[in-house]
Structure formats: C-alpha cells, structure tokens
Structure 1
Amino acid sequence: MSQLQLTGIHHLTAVTSQIRENKRFYTDMLGLRMVKRTVNQDDTSAYHLFYADGVGNPGTDITFFDWPLAREQRGSRTVTRTGLRVRDLDSLNYWQGRLGELQVSHGDIRELDGRPTLDFEDTEGQRLRLVVDGGAGDTPAVWERSAVPAEHQLRGLGPITITVPDLRNTDLVLQKVLHMRPVRDYADPESADSTHRVHVYEMGAGGSPDKELHVAVRSDLPVARPGAGSVHHVAFRVPDEEQYHAWTEHLWRMGMQTSGEVDRYWFRSLYFREPNGVLFELATDGPGFGVDEDMDRLGETLILPPFLEQQRPQIEAGLKPID
C-alpha cells in the first residue's frame, strides 16, 4: 500500500454545560442541522449532539458532550480555535451583520494566513473562527430549513488550531506518524509577541482549510484546564474501513498508544494523544448518520447504538428535555 493519507478534518467534539442553549446557538443562530441526538457512549448520562450540514457529511459536524462543568481555564495542550468555512467575503460580511444582530461576541474581519477571517465565541466561550475558503474543499449539503440563506450557510470545519508549549515532538508525530506536511507559518494572532508563530500542516490533497491543522507554539501559557467551552478532541478523516485497519496497524508499529479500534456505529474510531497531550481521533467517513434514521428526520428523536438500546428506559429517564 502507498503511504497512508488522512483526507481532512472529520469532526470536532467540544464540551457544554448548557445543552439547551447550546442547541439553540448552533441550530437557530448558526443555522446548522442537528443530525444526531444521542448520548456519550462512555457516559450515557450525557447527551452527545451532532450539528452539521443538511445530511451530516463528514467534515461538517461539530459535536458536544453535555457535562456539568465549570468554564475552561484557557491555556496550552489543547484545541484553541475551531475554523468554520464560508464561501466568500460577501458571506463573511453577512455573518458579521448576523452575529451583531444576535448580540454574539465577535471581532473584526481581518486577513489571517492569507484568508479573510472573523473570530467569535458561543455563549460559553467556545472559540470559533469563520474562514473564507473561496469554494475550496468538499461542497456541503444545503439545509433547507436553516435560518441562514443557502449561499451563506457554513461549509464545514477547518482549519483547526491546537496550542502546544513545544513544537518538536508534536511535529515528529504529525509528519512521521500522521504523514502531514508542514507548509508555512504565520504570527500568532492571539499573542502580542510576533515571535510566537502558528505552523500550518496539511493532509491529503491539501490546498484548502478543511485539510489543515494549525499548531500555535506558546511556551508562555499555562496548561489548559478542561471545562465548558473547551474542546475534547479533533478527528481526522479516513476514507474507508480498509485504510482504518491499516492506520491501526501503522500506529501500533510506530509505538503509539491508542484506544484500539472503537465502533461508534455511525463511524469507526481510533483515539490517541499526541506528545503534548492533545487528543486526536481517526474516524471513517462511513457508514454515516442515515444508517439508522430516515434522512428527513435526522436529529429529531433520541437515537442509541444497538448495544445501548436495551438500556433506553434508564438512559431516557436520566436526560433532561432540550427542545
């Protein structure tokens, strides 16, 4: 087999302590579709909600665990900014106006790493960034019932920024283990010190923000403390199960400690931490969210993977209404 290649960002999973407000923000305000209403498979007392494009394509979903935690203490060794793509400057201007009207905390439009961007935060301080992709990357499915016009709907994830205190060992894993390619760097916009740099790595075909991981190097920051508003992990795309099994073997041969293969039912997963502690996941593109639900009804009712179905009465009794 030729060298294994990840093909882009698959999903990003974050933490909320306000699940009702979270649902309202990502569906009503950001116009995403809730494509799966389920629970954390390792903690069934917590919801796991998936927001994505009109059909839940891989690369478009940002997901949340519902945990009653205090706010995140910001710092390093974690994901620190999540990119959400828009098509062009017209869309970015639309979003600047929409965020202002909805009284969402946001910055100014500026060019960053050669692309127009707009930073904003959700109600719990989740750090997000709108990024113009110029139509590059996979085309998302329009969500007809979105509050956002089709031409301005979010196009998916990317780039994702992680912050680490030292680049060396993270760089080794990104290049030698995950076969990502360093392509450029730029001044860290979160720092007044221009010597702090963000290093850009691309995967797969490259050339678009959905295929980029950005690594900010900040030895001056404390270690982040997880909580509401933090990111739990970022997942990278593996096209099929054959390559997924090959990645499992490859990581084992490279001496990486992993979770072993995990069947999440809607995709297959493999978890491990890079040397600075950021949790990575490799996830397959399929089988997808339509495997157990009518595509017209995605996200409307609580769906459990088959191995949890017999626990449904207890699980449902422990969950609070979110609609």
Structure 2
Amino acid sequence: MPAFHHISLLTKDRNQNVAFYTELLGMRFVKNTVNQENNRMLHYYYGDYTGSPGSVVTFFVVPHLGQRYDHDHFLATIGLKIPNNSLNYWQERLENAGVAATQQENQLFFDDPDNVAVILTEVPEGPLKSKLQVKNDIPGDKQILGLASTQLHVADLEKTADFFKRYLDWDVVAGQIKLSESEHLEIYQTKTPEKMRMGRGSIDHVAFAVKDDAALDDLYKKAQEQNWNIEEIISRGYFKSLYIREPGGNRLEFATMSPGFTIDEPLETLGESFALPPFLADKRAEIEANLYPVD
C-alpha cells in the first residue's frame, strides 16, 4: 500500500495544466469533475492508467487566480518517482520540450506552468505494471511511478513533529519523515510571521492512503481523543476522507483506497467526459450551468 494517496493544488490555466501533466509528464487525465466544496470550480485528476492511490495529482481550476504568497505556513513541491534507468530519458524529454531542469544526483528539478516545483527522483523500483501504464508516447519502462515526496513549511517544528509522533507514530529525523522506501515528507521552519495566501500553484492539501473505512473511522476517533483540529470526515464518492489541520496550519487528508474512479464512468474512458459522483448526479444541469467561465 502506498503511503501517499494524492496531492491537490490550484491552477489558473486549465489548458496549460492539462498539456503539462498529460502530454509532457505522460499522466492520464483520469477525472474531469468539480470541487465538491464549491461546485462552480472544476477539479482535474491525473494519475496512472487506473488513477490508483499514490499516483494521483489533482488541480482545482480557478480562473483569474492571483499570485500565491508562501509565508508563515505552506505546502510545497510535487515529488514524483521514476523507474530505474529513466533519468536520462526524462532529462532529454524535458530539454526537448524547452523546460529548464537541473539535475542533482538521481533527481531532476523543474517548475510547472504555475511555478510549482516538481522533482523527479529515480528509484530502484522497476516500471509500472502493464495494467497501470498509460497509452502514450512515453515507453512503459520510463513512465512516472507515483508520488515520492512533498514539503511542509511550518512556524513551529516541534509542534508539528509532536503531531506526527502522537497521532501517527511517525518520527521526524533530520527534518524528514520516512514513509516507505521511496516516499517521504520533508519539514522546514518558516522564517516570517507574514500570513500565507493561496494563489497560483498553491498546494491545498496532501493526502495519505488509508486501507478502508474502518481504519479511517479509527483515525477519526483518535483525532477526537487527542483533540486535533478536525475539519471534516466525508465521502468524496471515489474515496472517503478525513481532513485535519496539523498544528502548523497545513491541511492534511487521510483517504481510503477504494472504491476508486470507476464508480461513475468506465475505466477505458476515464476523464473523457464531465463526471459527477452519484450524490451529485441529480444536480448535473445546475452544476454545468454555473461553472466558472474558463478559457
């Protein structure tokens, strides 16, 4: 089971966003839906062929989105892992696309169109299973495997470390939490008391994978007992989610592994039509009529 489930950000330009993540990075556009908290806002999901947990990067599409201000607390970077012996392929692919990338050892650093820092890390793991490979111009043995890392920036390192230890029994060692052999969280101290402001490329939340509803309910009860800042526990249709603000103010999500993205459209045509989970299906006409104008 992966440690990460998905990571969700804000984008201003949906066409640039789709082109970057599907055409350049080769991820599949697995879901074209809405933000369930604000049904006027589009929500795009990218991942491997099935959109399996641990492979997914999502974006809320917000036209006229302003500049972000990463100040007193924020999440940063999309870390993605690539298979063994694929770093040179990706360096050449980025170069050919005119994307400036810096190589450091087994990693490539570059920015997406919203100035989100993206990191590709070559790991010892082999390629994606064939059933997870996306049908595109990227060879199957070079395709992105899934999420590898992200960063939490907080004002008080000790409070955030205490949260992870007491709530999840995760240890912060040298500024990192090792989640698996190829997944980790980095934690940094911020240097300014100025308030952060969400904008282009802001990360709204990072989600961690939870086995099932029972395990999620246990986490919910534990968060209540330990008096953490719970936002909500809710079904998203594609998975059930628990949202918590860690003491530094960053939003964390814990999401179940199932039922997945095929509850409202077939696997073969994921992302090809505007999809709504069953509990929003009867509002389709109203939602489509009120979407924020884009393009």
Considering the TM-score relative to the shorter chain, is it more than 0.5?
yes
Mark the runs of 5 or more structure 1 residues left unpaired by the alignment.
1-5, 186-198
Whole-angstrom distance in 2 between the partners of 1:15 and 1:102 = 23
Tell me which residue corresponds to 1:84: 80
SS in 1 for 2:274: coil
Tell me which residue corresponds to 2:103: 109
Tell me which residue corresponds to 1:163: 153
- 1:135 has 2:135 as partner: no
Tell me which residue corresponds to 1:216: 188
- 1:302 has 2:278 as partner: no
After TM superposition, the score normalised by the length of structure 1 is 0.85
Q: Label 1:166 to 1:259 Cα distance change in 2 as closer, same or farther (>3 A).
A: closer
Tell me which residue corresponds to 1:201: 177
Mark the runs of 5 or more structure 2 residues left unpaired by the alignment.
none
SS in 1 for 2:89: helix
Whole-angstrom distance in 2 between the partners of 1:221 and 1:33 = 39
Tell me which residue corresponds to 1:284: 256
Tell me which residue corresponds to 1:100: 95
SS in 2 for 1:12: strand
- Report deviation, 1:178: 2.0
- Report deviation, 1:143: 3.0
Tell me which residue corresponds to 1:71: 67
Aligned partner (choices 7, 23, 28) of residue 28 of structure 1 = 23
Percent of aligned pairs with the same amino acid: 33
Q: Label 1:137 to 1:143 Cα distance change in 2 as closer, same or farther (>3 A).
A: closer
Tell me which residue corresponds to 1:240: 212
Tell me which residue corresponds to 2:49: 54
- Report deviation, 1:19: 1.1
Tell me which residue corresponds to 1:172: 162
Q: Write out aligned runs for 1:261-272 (5 A).
A: 261-272=233-244
- Report deviation, 1:302: 0.7
- Report deviation, 1:320: 7.2
Whole-angstrom distance in 1 between the partners of 2:17 and 2:215 = 34
Whole-angstrom distance in 1 between the partners of 2:146 and 2:208 = 13
| 8 A contact 1:268–1:284 mirrored in 2 | yes
Q: Label 1:16 to 1:140 Cα distance change in 2 as closer, same or farther (>3 A).
A: farther
| 8 A contact 1:48–1:66 mirrored in 2 | yes
After TM superposition, the score normalised by the length of structure 2 is 0.93
Q: How many residues align?
A: 294
Whole-angstrom distance in 2 between the partners of 1:157 and 1:322 = 28
- Report deviation, 1:166: 2.4
RMSD: 2.2
Aligned partner (choices 175, 185, 200) of residue 228 of structure 1 = 200
Q: What amino acid is the match of 1:266?
A: Y
Q: What amino acid is the match of 2:182?
A: S
Q: What amino acid is the match of 2:230?
A: T
| 8 A contact 1:105–1:122 mirrored in 2 | no
Q: Spell out, residue by residue over 1:85-108, the C-alpha distance to the aligned partner (whole angstroms, 9 max, x if none).
A: 0112x31111111111111232x2
Whole-angstrom distance in 1 between the partners of 2:127 and 2:156 = 30
